[in-house]
Amino acid sequence: MQKEDCIIVGGGPCGLSVAIALQGIGKDPLVIEKGNIVNSIYNYPTHQTFFSSSEKLAIGDVPFIIEERKPKRNQALTYYREVVKMKQLRIHRFETVEKVKKLSDDSFCVYTSAGTYEAKYVIIATGYYDHPNYMHIPGEGLDKVFHYFKEAHPYFDTDVVVIGGKNSAVDAALELHKAGARVTVLYRGSEYSKSIKPWILPEFDALVRNGDIHMEFQAEVTEITKDTVVYNRQGKEKRLKNDFVFAMTGYHPDHSFLEAMGIGIDRETGRPIYDEETKETNVEGVFIAGVIAAGNNANEIFIENGRFHGGEIAAAIAERERE
């Protein structure tokens, strides 16, 4: 069993910022990531532009300098690769953490797809992007249904339904329209979400008003078939001819992974039980960092505020070891 002082589960921006902060107190943490670094950002749509400005995505006191104010996906990937090289972070890539078990001596056994490790501290920074919110309706498992959107070109000259009304749905609808798809957006809300990026809403709304994108509010999807989408709107059932569906219904943290190691979960909010100042969970020695701390409300914690969790965790560990 390989012995480590600190293991960080997840190599996203917040996990990397924890590793850098732990270096600052003399630790040599190991990051274990099931993909490659910032895997969630890699899985963003290829055209993605961040909501945050580049300086708010910077970690480890490494400047994130670009000509534009808001970086694109590829610029962020380049930046975080350079941070990892500059800080010489230890990262085990393409290795999945399967279980974390507390040992009798207050250390932890971390079981992965490649082996086992013993660690004094474990920091969970797994995010939420890998776990879509399913609608649990007939046909959701069809090959034509996707919960992620990468790029629009394959859907040229097809009938596409986008389910949802927040940023990911609006972004997908715009890109699909630009690529020549016939786009319908079905959203259960009664008006545009207030979370939509202010610089894209005018363009999207203009396309809806001009009939270039068809949008239906108060639409509840009930079934997906091979060639239709069935939904209810104001008590009436409607059927829409359809080739592909993008169910952009949001994502959630992996509660089962946290609960298996003894971390409590608030049933109403989905938030793990943890100390706000130190980010230590109810399991002593296990900390959380990044958006996973927000539970089901992914709009509460972003890279721009989750990147500071590393400093809080490092300070808590340093204080404990001084004591």
pLDDT in tens, 192-220: 999 888 888 999 999 999 999 999 999 99
C-beta separation of 80 from 38 below 8 A: yes
Q: What are residue 94's phi and psi, to 5 degrees?
A: 55, 40
In sequence order, the 6+-apart residues with CB closer than 8 A to the CB of 40 are 12, 127, 129, 130
Structure tokens at 180: 């020549």
Cβ–Cβ < 8 Å for 282, 274? yes
The Cα 56–Cα 121 span in angstroms is 28
Q: Stretch 87-115: mean pLDDT, rounded?
A: 95
The CB-side HSE value for 320 (13 A sphere, CA atoms) comes to: 12
Distances (CA, A) of 113 to 85, 99, 259: 25, 10, 20
pLDDT at 295: 83
Average pLDDT, the chain: 95
Confidence check: pLDDT of 117 > 90: yes
Q: How far apart are CA 112 and CA 129, in angstroms?
A: 20
Tell me how far apart the alpha carbons of residues 246 and 266 are, in angstroms, rounded to a whole number: 30
pLDDT for residue 254: 87
* Environment class of 70 (CB within 10 Å of its CB; exposed 0-12, middle 13-18, buried 19+): middle
Instruction: Copy the structure tokens of residue 45.
Output: 């749509």
Q: What percent of the chain is predicted at pLDDT more than 90?
A: 85
Q: What average pLDDT score do residues 83-92 get?
A: 98
